[in-house]
């Protein structure tokens, strides 16, 4: 089964790699517009499927797009929005006609100056997707926002890649998340889009960031209001596909001259449905598999903080945020197996799995910021984060004869895997102007303690469970990291340079207490 999924994944990737929608955005004089936002829209309801920005020649490219019925919308500061016609996309390379944009008309008799961020900002070191105030701010979760973001690919297992690279690190408000794989995906699904201010896509991280993030960094910035007085907002969303899901939240802020108090709460709940079909011919057998997946996610996210403005240059702050979520997934799957020579089914595998997972995450931050009008800035942060993950999975694999009535054999097991993570860190970052560029340097001290306890239980035909010592393991891990960096960047006409060096010293210790590792150690001792 594992080989089947891998083989299918390689096949899908090879086919998707050839899919491309390409075109150009130009002004009325035929000149390509740089950094214009191009939105790929669903041709039926105009919902956003994917976002991108044009390059220096006004060219945009959308890759890994499923066949469908689409249209394009282009937007840029100082220009009116422009649209392409609707078109069918069959999954092969497609080049579209140029989109022409006209400059916005102005009326000098009554000038009103307003500041509105573009949906996509292209910087020398990153690309920023501004979520706040757009249609994407409601009815979505953070994973869906990433799915629409430029250069980000979310595969069928919710793994992230960016600019063709795997191993992307996800940061929340500038702090790395320790979660990976399914745990990270569930956290992103539980983070409501209405609480997201912007997403920073950093394909070439500077020396400021940890070495582990050299494949790319996605930094999700959560909202933080600083308007004077008491203000707030309430949001709610409801959507229906096969099942309904809804979300809602509240955001409050109170600021006087020296103090800013802020907080928000969001709730997300609903069922999600996926259908999977796999067909494979291997050696002398034919494998035909289908699966229906229904998952139920309930999440609560909160954030509260206080900023104290000592004077115009110095600010002290304290912040608490976290999330609590429960995830239940039910899979109803069946695979028929037949010899290629006859095509007659002789075995049927039934695998109806159940997954229950709960996640709790709490983060505490104390911060200090100094900034003057000449470009000097110092940020100091002390952080503590705690993650509590509880996972319980029942995985049945039961083989029947071709009629599906007589059981041949079974392999049923339950996996119970609690995880606790404690993270402590202290960091300081300083930036200053230098030779019409910006020089930055700083350091970080971090400590991580992780306790993973994986237990596997074999389940017999009478649903009796017995602990499998050989396939169970507890792994306790501690890691301390000390880092220093220096970085310099400068913008020239049409080009930007960035130079930096980072030094990290890591001390780590891991202890595995599984039966398998104990037996291995005893065997080695006898040999010596």
Q: With the CA atoms of 223, 236, 183 and 478 taken in that order, what torsion angle do they form, in degrees rounded to the nearest 10?
A: 40
Confidence band, pLDDT 50/70/90 cuts, at residue 521: very low
Beta-strand relationship, 20-27 and 99-101: parallel
Beta bridge partners of 355: 329, 393
Classify burial at 142, counting beta carbons within 10 Å of its beta carbon; exposed 0-12, middle 13-18, buried 19 or more.
buried
Neighbours of 218 (CB within 10 A): 24
Q: Which of 94-98, 109-113, 121-125, 419-423 has the lowest mean pLDDT?
A: 109-113
Report pLDDT for 270. Answer: 85
- The candidate with the shortest Cα–Cα distance to 382, out of 439, 450, 318, 437, is 318
Dihedral pair phi/psi, residue 344, rounded to 5°? -90, 125
Where b means 16+ CB within 10 Å and e means fewer, 242-264 reads eeebebbbebbbbbeeeebebbb
Angle at 489 between CA 486 and CA 494, to 5 degrees: 165
The model's confidence at residue 418, banded by pLDDT at 50, 70 and 90, is: very high
Give the model's confidence band at 214: pLDDT under 50 very low, under 70 low, under 90 confident, else very high.
low
Q: How far, in Å, CA of 100 to CA of 81, rounded?
A: 9
Task: Count Cβ atoms within 10 A of the Cβ of residue 205 and give its class: 0-12 exposed, 13-18 middle, 19 or more buried.
Answer: buried
User: What token pair was written down for 470?
Assistant: 């050989």
135 — pLDDT class (breaks 50, 70, 90): low
pLDDT band for position 221 (cuts 50, 70, 90): confident
Q: Which pair of structure tokens corresponds to residue 79?
A: 């220009």
Q: How confident is the model at residue 456 (pLDDT cuts 50, 70, 90)?
A: very high
User: Average of pLDDT values for 373-398?
Assistant: 93
pLDDT per position as a tens digit, 262-291: 888 988 888 888 888 889 888 889 999 988
pLDDT at 166: 81
pLDDT at residue 359 in the model: 92
514 CA to centre of own chain: 32
Asked if 37 and 78 touch (Cβ cutoff 8 Å), the reply is no
DSSP state for residue 192 in the 8-state scheme: B
- pTM assigned to the model: 0.71
Domain range list for the chain: 19-104, 116-527
Rounded CA-CA distance 184/172 in Å is 12
Whether 12 has a pLDDT exceeding 60, the answer reads no
We find that the CATH architecture of domain 19-104 is Sandwich (2.60)
Q: Percent of the chain having pLDDT more than 70?
A: 89
Structure tokens at 381: 């942060």
């Amino acid at each position: 089964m594992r080989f089947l999924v891998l083989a299918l994944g390689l096949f899908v990737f090879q086919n998707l790699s050839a899919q491309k929608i390409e075109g150009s955005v130009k002004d009325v004089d035929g000149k390509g517009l740089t950094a214009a936002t191009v939105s790929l829209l669903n041709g039926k309801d105009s919902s956003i499927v994917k976002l991108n920005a044009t390059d220096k020649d006004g060219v945009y490219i959308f890759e890994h797009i499923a066949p469908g019925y689409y249209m394009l919308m282009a937007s840029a500061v100082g220009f009116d929005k422009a649209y392409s016609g609707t078109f069918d996309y069959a999954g092969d390379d497609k080049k579209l006609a140029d989109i022409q944009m006209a400059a916005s008309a102005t009326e000098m008799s009554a000038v009103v100056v307003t500041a509105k961020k573009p949906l996509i900002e292209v910087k020398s070191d990153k690309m920023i997707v501004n979520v706040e105030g757009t249609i994407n701010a409601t009815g979505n979760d953070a994973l869906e926002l990433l799915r629409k973001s430029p250069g980000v690919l979310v595969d069928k297992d919710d793994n992230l890649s960016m600019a063709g690279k795997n191993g992307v690190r996800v940061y929340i408000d500038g702090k790395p998340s320790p979660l990976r794989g399914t745990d990270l995906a569930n956290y992103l699904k539980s983070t409501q889009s209405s609480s997201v201010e912007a997403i920073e896509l950093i394909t070439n991280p500077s020396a400021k960031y940890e070495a582990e993030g050299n494949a790319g960094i996605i930094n999700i910035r959560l909202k933080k209001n600083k308007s004077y007085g008491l203000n707030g907002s309430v949001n709610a969303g409801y959507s229906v596909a096969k099942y309904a899901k809804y979300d809602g939240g509240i955001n409050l802020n109170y600021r006087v001259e020296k103090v800013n108090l802020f907080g928000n709460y969001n709730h997300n709940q609903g069922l999600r449905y996926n259908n999977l079909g796999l067909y494979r011919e291997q050696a002398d057998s034919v494998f035909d598999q289908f699966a229906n997946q229904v998952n139920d996610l309930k999440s609560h996210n909160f954030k509260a903080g206080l900023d104290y403005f000592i004077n115009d240059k110095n600010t002290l702050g304290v912040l608490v945020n976290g999330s609590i979520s429960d995830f239940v997934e039910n899979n109803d799957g069946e695979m028929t197996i037949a010899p290629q020579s006859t095509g007659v089914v002789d075995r049927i595998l039934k695998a109806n799995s159940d997954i229950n997972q709960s996640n709790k995450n709490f983060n505490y931050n104390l911060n200090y910021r100094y900034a003057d009008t000449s470009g000097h800035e110092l940020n100091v942060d002390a952080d503590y984060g705690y993650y509590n993950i509880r996972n319980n999975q029942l995985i049945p694999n039961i083989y029947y004869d071709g009629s599906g009535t007589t059981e041949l054999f079974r392999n049923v097991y339950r996996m119970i895997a609690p995880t606790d993570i404690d993270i402590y860190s202290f960091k300081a970052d300083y930036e200053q102007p230098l030779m019409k560029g910006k020089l930055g340097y700083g350091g970080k001290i971090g400590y991580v303690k992780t306790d993973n306890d994986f237990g596997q239980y074999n389940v017999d035909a009478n649903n009796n469970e017995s602990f499998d010592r050989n396939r169970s393991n507890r792994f306790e891990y501690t890691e301390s990291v000390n880092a220093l960096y220096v970085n310099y960047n400068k913008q020239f006409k049409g080009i930007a340079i960035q130079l930096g060096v980072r030094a990290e010293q890591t001390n780590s210790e891991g202890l595995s207490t599984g039966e398998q590792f104990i037996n291995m150690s005893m065997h080695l001792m006898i040999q010596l």
